[in-house]
Amino acid sequence: WHSRRPPRPSFFSPAAPAPSPKLSVPSGFSVTSPEKRGWVINPLGSGGGEPFPVWMMVASVLPAVLVFILIFMETQITTLIISKKERKLQKGSGFHLDLLLIVAMGGVCALFGLPWLAAATVRSVTHANALTVMSKAVAPGDKPKIQEVKEQRVTGLLVAVLVGLSIVIGDLLRRIPLAVLFGIFLYMGVTSLNGIQFYERLHLLLMPPKHHPDMPYVKKVRTLRMHLFTLLQLACLAVLWAVMSTVASLAFPFILILTVPLRLCLLSRVFTEGEMKCLDAAEAEPILDEREGVDEYNEMPMPV
C-alpha cells in the first residue's frame, strides 16, 4: 500500500503559493462613507443639519495647535535638508512659500474631507538624491562630490499624474504584496539618512578613534564629549519613539517642540559655543573657515 501524500509547498510551485498580504484598494470612486457625508464638508455642522456647538469650535484650537506644530516642524526641517549648500541648488528654496502653500491647500482639502498635505521628508530627500549628479573622476581615497542637481518640475508632475491614475488601476495595485511596499519604504528611509551628521556620529560610537574621519566635529571636539552629545540625541529620539508607540501619541507635538528649549537652554550650558557649532550642524560636513585663532561657522545651525 502506498499512501498518496499531497504535494509539499514549494517556492517555485504556482499550485501552492505562499500566503502574502496584499495592498487593500477600495473599488469605485466615492467618499469613504457615502451614507454619512457627501463630497463637501460643512464647516459649521454635519450633513444631518446639526450644527457644531460653540464649545466644540473653541476646543478645536487645541488639536489645531498640535497639527500646526507638526506641519511647521516637518516643512521647515525638510526644506532645510533639501536646500543644503553642498547640493549647489540654483533656484533656491522657499521656506515661507512652501509653508504658505501647504497650509492653504490643507484648508481646501479639509472642505472636501481629503488628507492634509505634508512635506514628506523621506520622499522629498529621496527625490533630491535621485536628481543629484555625482562626480565620476575621483582620486583614490576621496569621496565623490556633488556636481549638480537636475532642478525641474517634470518628475513632480508625473508623480501627481500617476497618483491620479491609481484610481483606474485598482486591480493591478491589489496584486502588490505589502512586503514589497515595506521594502521600498525601508530603502527610502535608510538612503535618506545619508549626509545627516547624527547618523554619521552613530557609527563613530563603535569605531576606534584612530579610524574616525577627518571631520570638524571630530577634530575640534573631544571624543568623549562628541559621544556624549550623540547619546543625548539618541535618548531624545528614544523618548519621541516611545511616545509615538504608546497611547500618549497625541502628546507627540508637545514633546517634539520641547526639543527647542532643550537645545537652546540646556545643551548650550553643557557644551561650549564652538562645540555646538560643530556638533549641531545642519549637515555632516559643516563649512568652517579657519583663520588665525578664529573659527567662523558659515552655516545656520538647526534649532532642534
DSSP 8-state class, residue 85: G
User: Would you say how long the chain is, in residues?
Assistant: 304
* pTM as predicted: 0.64
Q: Residue 197 and residue 210: Cα distance in Å, rounded?
A: 19
Domain ranges of the chain: 196-284
Question: Cα–chain-centroid distance for residue 270?
Answer: 29
Rounded (5°) CA angle 60-62-304: 140
Q: Residue 107 and residue 97: Cα distance in Å, rounded?
A: 16
From first to last of its 304 residues, the chain has per-residue pLDDT tens of: 445 555 554 433 445 466 778 888 777 777 877 777 788 887 777 655 677 788 888 888 888 888 888 888 888 888 888 888 777 888 777 778 888 888 888 888 888 888 888 888 888 888 888 888 888 877 776 777 788 888 888 988 998 898 888 888 888 888 888 888 899 888 888 887 877 888 889 989 988 888 888 888 888 889 999 999 999 999 999 998 988 888 878 788 888 888 888 888 878 788 888 888 888 865 544 333 433 443 333 333 443 3
